[in-house]
Structure 1
Amino acid sequence: MKENMNMTVRVGIASNHLIHPTDRFGTNFIDYIQRDYVTGLRQAGTLPVVLPLGDPKDAEDYISGVDGLLLSGGQGVSPILYGEEPLAEVAETDIYRDEFEISLIRAAQDAGKPVIGICRGMQIINVALGGTLYQDVYKQAGATEKHNQYPTSWEIPTHHITTAEDSWLNRILGERFAVNSFHHQGLHEPGENLKVIARSDDKVAEAVESDDGKIIGVEFHPEMMRVAHPEFQKIFDYFVNLVQNNTHN
């Protein structure tokens, strides 16, 4: 589906926000979203709407104004939210973002609106649905592959994943392909009505789908890969079709 000016559905993208001073912005803290997420959605034929980080009590109002929700990458998810004490390997977390996004996910679920999570976004979906995470896939899950490829260029695939037969990801991209990778946390126990539908060769969860098909997620970053590897645009196309079909039913 190509970008067009007759966009009939809106997808909300939950923003990140700066919590430390930077050379560019100083203490002029900002809410932001990496533009590749916006471009992927626009190319799929929808109107992206950035949702600034806010109070969890406002989540229902935010969701009422969009037809679907995208959760992006970013900081680690706080283990406190799934009943664990943080390990030293967790690094930076932002519980304000965690709590707001969990509220958005639950509001979207209550409204029957589709949700997609990318990297951290897939992880926060799992926590919102009652699941748990590996705080560090190397220390806790015995991961052996390079799941954080930095400083390798973002769009370069660095390890393979295998998808479950007849899953949404299998249908659009096939059984086995290479992806990029920027994470050290990962899914442990899946949340309610959520199943893992792709794994890396060292068994780390790489994609999920809810029982009703309205919630999907990937651990890799298709928004970064789609320009050099156009087949990854299919992930955005699939989600937008899901949103459109849900809206028009």
Structure 2
Amino acid sequence: MTVKIGIASNHMIHPTKTLDTNYFDYIQIDYVDAVRHAGGTPVVLPIGDPSEAATYIEMVDGLLLAGGQGVTPVLYGTEPLREVTDTDVYRDRFEIALVKAAIAARKPILGICRGSQVINVALNGTLYQDIYSQMGATEKHNQLPTSWEIPTQHVTTIAGSWLDRLLGHRFLVNTFHHQAIHELGDGLTAVAKSDDNVIEAIGSSDGNVVGVQFHPERMFKTTPEFNAIFDYFIERAQ
């Protein structure tokens, strides 16, 4: 059986030196590679109107939401702080609609970094726009210039949670963010946190909606244990 995984694309809205004003949708190749490695067939979903979300979800067996810009603060009921950088409300609204359509169709969702935050907002949760100024985070949650594939920070899981079963109680992850989940969305539970109390993974009670704040797609080739996250997701989609 072919398991088709819809990967929601990002939107290049700023001109670059080589592309001038040619705007386009794209997805970082590691998401595609991770889905393929786990036995799924990746289907990249271009950004569309929220009214089209259900049609996209009908085409696939599961939904993967990738990293990228911060989520637009007004979508979760607050005004933007000065620490907020690039946002894309068109992507935000479309991905929120995808989440709702996938849940209605009972198709599994995996959110990575921003994707986890989008899931939370779609389910009426809120975010910290900046974990340092708003919650007093003390760890380095953006490890650059250290390379993406190198785990640098410990997370601790909740016993018996989906992530605890896959990767154990405590392990190292990579980290590239300054926003994070604040108030959890409807039906979501925090299943892992960093040592300074930042939510690093979430899950629904039925295990069909999961998200991680770190980037397993950047680590699965050099730290094979992280394949387990994508294997779990593909199994749910079968």
Distance 1:203 1:189 in 2: 13
Q: Which one of 21, 32, 35 corresponds to residue 15 of structure 2?
A: 21
Q: Match of 1:99? A: 93
Amino acid at match of 1:98: D
Amino acid at match of 2:232: Y
Tell me the residue number matched to 2:217.
223
1:9 maps to 2:3? yes
Match of 1:142 in 2: 136
In the alignment, the residues of structure 2 paired with residue 89 and residue 211 of structure 1 have an alpha-carbon distance, to the nearest angstrom, of: 33
Q: CA RMSD in A?
A: 0.7
Q: CA deviation at 1:212?
A: 1.5
Quote the residue 2:114 is aligned against. 120
Is the counterpart of residue 59 in structure 1 residue 50 in structure 2?
A: no
AA in 1 matched with 2:15: P
Q: Please point out which of 23, 28, 36 is paired with 2:30.
A: 36
Aligned equivalents of 1:17 and 1:131: distance in 2? 24
The offset of 1:70, in angstroms, is 0.2
CA distance in 1, matches of 2:217, 2:21: 29
Q: Give how far 1:206 is off.
A: 0.2
Which whole-Å CA distance do the structure 2 matches of 1:60 and 1:158 have between them?
38
Could you tell me how far apart the structure 2 residues matched to 1:237 and 1:89 are?
A: 36
User: What amino acid is aligned across from residue 61 of structure 1 in structure 2?
Assistant: T
Q: State the Cα distance separating 1:227 from its structure 2 match.
A: 1.1
Partners of 1:105 and 1:26 in 2: how far apart?
32
Establish whether residue 188 from structure 1 lines up as the match of residue 191 from structure 2.
no
Q: How many residues align?
A: 238
Q: 1:17 Cα deviation (Å)? A: 1.1
Match of 2:236 among 235, 242, 248: 242
Residues of 1 paired with 2:72 and 2:223: CA distance? 33
Q: Once the 2 structures are TM-superposed, how far is the Cα of residue 233 of structure 1 from its aligned partner?
A: 1.0
Question: What is the CA-CA distance between 1:18 and the residue it aligns to?
Answer: 0.5
2-structure distance, mates of 1:72, 1:42:
15
> What is the CA-CA distance between 1:24 and the residue it aligns to?
2.0
For residue 64 of structure 2, give the secondary structure of its aligned residue in structure 1: strand
Aligned to 1:164: 158
CA distance in structure 1 between the aligned counterparts of 2:188 and 2:47, rounded to whole angstroms = 25
Q: Which of residues 175, 181, 192 in structure 1 aligns to 2:169?
A: 175
Name the CA distance, whole Å, in 2 between partners of 1:118 and 1:81: 19
Structure 1, unmatched stretches of 5+, are 1-6, 245-249
2:103 matched to 1:109?
A: yes
Structure 1 runs (4+) greater than 2 angstroms displaced:
none
> What is the CA–CA distance in structure 2 between the aligned matches of 1:14 and 1:24, rounded to whole Å?
24
Mapped to 2, the partners of 1:196 and 1:102 lie a distance apart of 20
Is 1:214 the counterpart of 2:208? The answer is: yes
**Cα displacement string for residues 42-86 of structure 1 (whole angstroms, at most 9, x for unaligned residues):** 011111100001111100100000010000000000110011000
- Give the letter for the 1:26 counterpart: D
The 2-side partners of 1:157 and 1:139 are apart by 24
SS in 2 for 1:178: strand
TM-score, structure 1 as length reference: 0.94
How far 1:112 sits from its partner (Å)? 0.6
